[in-house]
Copies of this chain bind each other. A is one copy, B any other.
Amino acid sequence: MLIVQKFGGTSVGDLQRIQNVANRVSESKKAGHDIVVVVSAMSGETNKLIGYAEHFAKNPAQPEMDMLLSAGERVTASLLSIALQEMGHEATAMTGRKAGIVTDHHHTKARIENIDPTTMNEALQDGKIVVVAGFQGVNEEGDVTTLGRGGSDLSAVAIAGALKADLCEIYTDVSGIYTTDPRIEPKARKLDKISYDEMLELASLGAKVLQNRSVEMAKKLNVNLVTRTSFSNEEGTLITKEENIMEAPLVSGIALDRNQARISLMGVKDRPGIASDIFTKLAQAEVNVDMIIQNKAHDGATNIDFTVPVSDLFDAKKVVDEFVSIGEIKADSYNEDICKVSVVGVGMRSHTGVAAKAFSTMAVNNININMIATSEIKISMVIDEKYAEIAVRGLHDAYELDK
């Protein structure tokens, strides 16, 4: 098999850990696989460099930041290659440039546009372990760019796609994707497999493990992703296309998002296009609106409720206040003490009763559902935040996710 293995900052956090990574890579190579390793900077290193830059300027120039920040991954890649060579392996360290990673011009947040895998393929054909500095590429002018948060994961997935690797293993300090947050429900179970779409919907479970940007790219490039821990030999979770999961469970996991706020608009003026006006203005202010409910009250006035991330609340209020000031909205209220509980599973496409069970679980636990939104593979409910844990445990139990 051709395997791309990506090790994050914690996994290469010091020299001993880099040696541990070398041992693990060595085992995979000895097992007969072709290996490309993608590494992050040693943990703390990137923040240290950012701190240096911010000592000089609040908003340092982005091309300079890319030249600065790309140094950390070069160090780790060189050291890992040296460690592997010392263990008797043929290994070669490559910068993003040498690995053929070409990005757009968006310094510090570049998108990978293309990978020319020629150099990597030649090294692999020579039997070498290829060690690539993650997080970086070059734009068409040949200037170094970096890929932003989660960038090394993106490097790994894109390389796996370009090389048509059999597997892309993302090593972190978390052992895989769980049916729900084990800190809330100790009976949470690690999933063996999960589909790309479910993973995207379970973002709040997986965010610490894998950013949606990487999952989306894996889906697009049809890369079999595995998240697993670098601190033990425990098997991880395979994220793959739905067809590869033989018996998809009805429900795969329960996600909890505490980072939501509810905005209620009362007495919205009854004129055509008013809702469109409000949400267009919100979009222009870059407010991420999630769920929306509109209803007519008994007195004929229209009420609109919607949710936004807490971090967008301030900007959202500014937009709403404008409509209030010109009298198009009578009153507004805000509630940060809410959360969103979601039931996710591709199985619910073909099975009925999944939603009913979710609602009845809330009822049994005396939890009032404020808002509901559904997609093909997800049911989301907004509830008071104080019921978050009870709701998660109740749903985990109801769908027998511990089995």
Q: Which of A51-59, A186-194, A271-279 contacts B (4 or more CB under 8 A)?
A: A51-59
Contacts of A75 in B (CB 8 A): 49, 52, 68, 71
Within 8 A of B (CB), among A50-77: 52-53, 55-57, 60-61, 63-65, 67-68, 70-72, 74-75, 77
Question: Measured between alpha carbons, how far is A18 from B53 in the docked complex, in Å?
Answer: 11
Q: Can you identify 6 A-B contacts, CB atoms within 8 angstroms?
A: A15-B52, A60-B86, A63-B92, A64-B78, A64-B81, A64-B85
Q: Hey, what's the 0/1 contact readout for A1-34 against B, CB within 8 Å counting as 1?
A: 0000000000000010011001000000000000
Q: Hey, what's the 0/1 contact readout for A233-260 against B, CB within 8 Å counting as 1?
A: 0000000000000000000000000000
A81 to chain B, nearest CB (A): 5
Interface of A is mostly: helix
A78 contacts B83, C-beta separation under 8 Å: no
- Tier of interface size on chain A: 35 or more
A269 within 8 Å of B (CB atoms): no
Question: Measured between alpha carbons, how far is A72 from B49 in the docked complex, in Å?
Answer: 11
Contacts of A143 in B (CB 8 A): 98
Question: Measured between alpha carbons, how far is A141 from B134 in the docked complex, in Å?
Answer: 21
A279 to chain B, nearest CB (A): 39
Contacts of A102 in B (CB 8 A): none
B74 contacts A57, C-beta separation under 8 Å: no
Say which residue of B57, B72, B82 sits within 8 Å of A83 (CB atoms): B57
A135 to chain B, nearest CB (A): 13
B74 contacts A60, C-beta separation under 8 Å: no
B78 contacts A68, C-beta separation under 8 Å: yes
Chain B, Cβ-Cβ closest to A133: B67
Question: Measured between alpha carbons, how far is A334 from B82 in the docked complex, in Å?
Answer: 42
Say which residue of B18, B65, B93, B142 sits within 8 Å of A98 (CB atoms): B142
A112 within 8 Å of B (CB atoms): no
Within 8 A of B (CB), among A127-184: 142-144
Contacts of A86 in B (CB 8 A): 56-57, 60
Say which residue of B15, B49, B83, B95 sits within 8 Å of A144 (CB atoms): B95
Contacts of A57 in B (CB 8 A): 82-83, 85-86
A372 within 8 Å of B (CB atoms): no
Question: Measured between alpha carbons, how far is A53 from B67 in the docked complex, in Å?
Answer: 22
Chain B, Cβ-Cβ closest to A48: B75
A60 to chain B, nearest CB (A): 4
Contacts of A289 in B (CB 8 A): none
Question: Measured between alpha carbons, how far is A81 from B78 in the docked complex, in Å?
Answer: 26
B98 contacts A56, C-beta separation under 8 Å: no
Chain B, Cβ-Cβ closest to A72: B71
A53 to chain B, nearest CB (A): 5
- Knowing that A18-B56, A68-B75 are A-B contacts, what are 5 other residue pairs whose CB atoms are under 8 Å apart, sorted by A's residue number? A15-B56, A52-B79, A53-B78, A67-B93, A98-B143
